[in-house]
Amino acid sequence: MPTSGTVFIAGSIAISRLHPVVCDRITNAVDRDMAVVVGDADGADTAIQRVLADLQTASVTVYCSGDKPRNNIGDWPVEHIYPDAPSGTRRWFTAKDLAMAEAADYGLMIWDSRSTGTLSNVIELLGANKKSVVFVNKNKEFVRVSDLDGLDRLIAMMSATARDKAEQKIRLTNKISALRHQQGALTF
C-alpha cells in the first residue's frame, strides 16, 4: 500500500519520448511507494505509462473522460470522469486533469514550454497549494513550482507565440491574477 502520497504525472502530447532523468524521477516515485495518477492521452501520458509498466508497478490509476481509456498499457484500474461538456472538447478532456490534480499530493510534469494543458495542470496544483516539479523538455532542466515565483520562471520559458496561445486557450493572465489574489489573501 502506498505510504508516500500520490503523484500526478503528465506532460505534453507532443512529447512521446521521455528524457532519462524523467524516467529516473518516475522510478524514484515508485521506489518511494507513491501512488501514481496518469492520463490516457497519446504522447507523454503513453510514454509515462510505458515506464510504469516496465517498472511493473501496481499503484497506478489511469484517468479518462468517458467510458474507455485511449491508452492503458498496464491494464491498471481506471477512474472514469463524466464531464458536463460535449465529448471530445477541451472541457471534456480537461475534466480528467482537474480530477487528477485533486486526487494528487504532488505533480511531476513534462512540458514542451508550449502545451497549455500541462501548464494548466501546474497552475491547478499550485492553486490547491500542491507542489510540482516540471521538466522543461527543450532546456533539459527541472523547475520546481511551489509558489508564484516558480510559476513565473516557468512562464518566462515560453515564446511570445506560446504565451498568446495560452491567453486564448486558458486565459493565462486571469489565472495568474487569481493565484496572486488567493496567495495575497493568505498573508496578513
- Per-residue pLDDT for 10 more than 90? yes
- Tell me, rounded to whole angstroms, the distance of Cα 102 from its chain centroid: 11
Summarised one tens digit per residue, pLDDT across range 113-141 is 999 999 999 999 999 999 999 999 999 99
Q: Convert 67-96 to b/e letters by CB count within 10 Å (16 or more is b).
A: eebebbbbebeeeebebeeeeeeeebbbbb
**Which pLDDT band holds residue 44 (cuts at 50, 70, 90)?**
very high
Q: Convert 120-142 to b/e letters by CB count within 10 Å (16 or more is b).
A: bbbbbbbeeebebbbbbbeeeeb
The pLDDT > 90 percentage for the chain reads 88
Give yes or no for a contact between 61 and 79, defined as CB atoms under 8 angstroms apart: yes
- Per-residue pLDDT for 184 more than 80? no
The chain-wide mean pLDDT, for the chain, equals 94
Degrees, nearest 5: CA angle 125-109-163: 80
- Per-residue pLDDT for 31 more than 70? yes
Residue 9's pLDDT is what?
98
- Per-residue pLDDT for 99 more than 50? yes
